[in-house]
A and B are shown apart, each in its own frame.
Chain A
Amino acid sequence: DAGITQSPRHKVTETGTPVTLRCHQTENHRYMYWYRQDPGHGLRLIHYSYGVKDTDKGEVSDGYSVSRSKTEDFLLTLESATSSQTSVYFCAAGSGQGIPSYEQYFGPGTRLTVT
């Protein structure tokens, strides 16, 4: 897992409640990402960060916000959880340098269920 941990690993929450997922890395990677994966689909990018306090939206960013106050931590917040946000969430990190420069290391995933 190249030093990528996610917490919690499993969570059940109710519609309308805020939820925060945490990603922690120990390799000092510059770039960090949040993806979601739904059954029968590949991963879709939610948000990513290219440095402390520097973030940008991915293709499915509505209803999500992120924060990165330290290099090692990248938080994903569901502002008001909906059933459509039930999914497996993966965090990833990469350095964007050297060869291969686009390799990303993925965490084990967080399974979120919104009831």
Chain B
Amino acid sequence: LAKTTQPISMDSYEGQEVNITCSHNNIATNDYITWYQQFPSQGPRFIIQGYKTKVTNEVASLFIPADRKSSTLSLPRVSLSDTAVYYCLVVDTGRRALTFGSGTRLQVQP
């Protein structure tokens, strides 16, 4: 399973763009990169996934360089409600299993 490394915590202010970078040096050819968000006392919620280059949805953008050894989740204009833990995961496509690391705790200040 590909191991991921991401910052333990980040701070931001409302209205700013937040970029969280994750490294996954031993990602396998068929693996996908997925990001989840978790609020206290709730289960994680899917944000976005990608394989390479850039993916954008209504919530976030995901940037993946050509070597795929890292990825960056970009949250545009964060609000207080974006305060949560964000997990970067590499999906083991053979098992459809998710391996969660410790995540990045994002604190958004007013």
Contact = CB atoms under 8 A, between A and B. Distances in A.
A56 B94 CA distance: 12
User: Interface size for chain B: under 10, 10 to 19, 20 to 34, or 35 or more residues?
Assistant: 20 to 34
Contact of B42 (A48, A59, A109): A109
Q: Is the interface of B mostly helix, strand, loop or mixed?
A: loop
Interface string A88-111: 001010101000111111111100
Nearest to B50: A100
A100 B46 contact: yes
B101 interface: yes
Interface string A32-76: 010100001111110010100000101100000000000000000
A88 to B, nearest CB: 9
Chain B CB within 10 Å, residue with most, of A1, A31, A42: A42
Nearest to A44: B100
B96 A96 contact: yes
Contacts of A90: 43-44
Contacts of A48: 95-97
A107 B97 contact: no
Contact of B99 (A41, A45, A104): A45
Contacts of B102: 40-42
12 contacts: A42-B100, A43-B98, A48-B97, A59-B99, A100-B34, A102-B98, A103-B49, A104-B46, A106-B42, A106-B43, A107-B43, A109-B41
Interface of A: 1, 4, 31, 33, 35, 40-45, 48, 50, 56, 58-59, 90, 92, 94, 96, 100-109
Interface of B: 32, 34, 41-46, 49, 87, 91, 93, 95-103
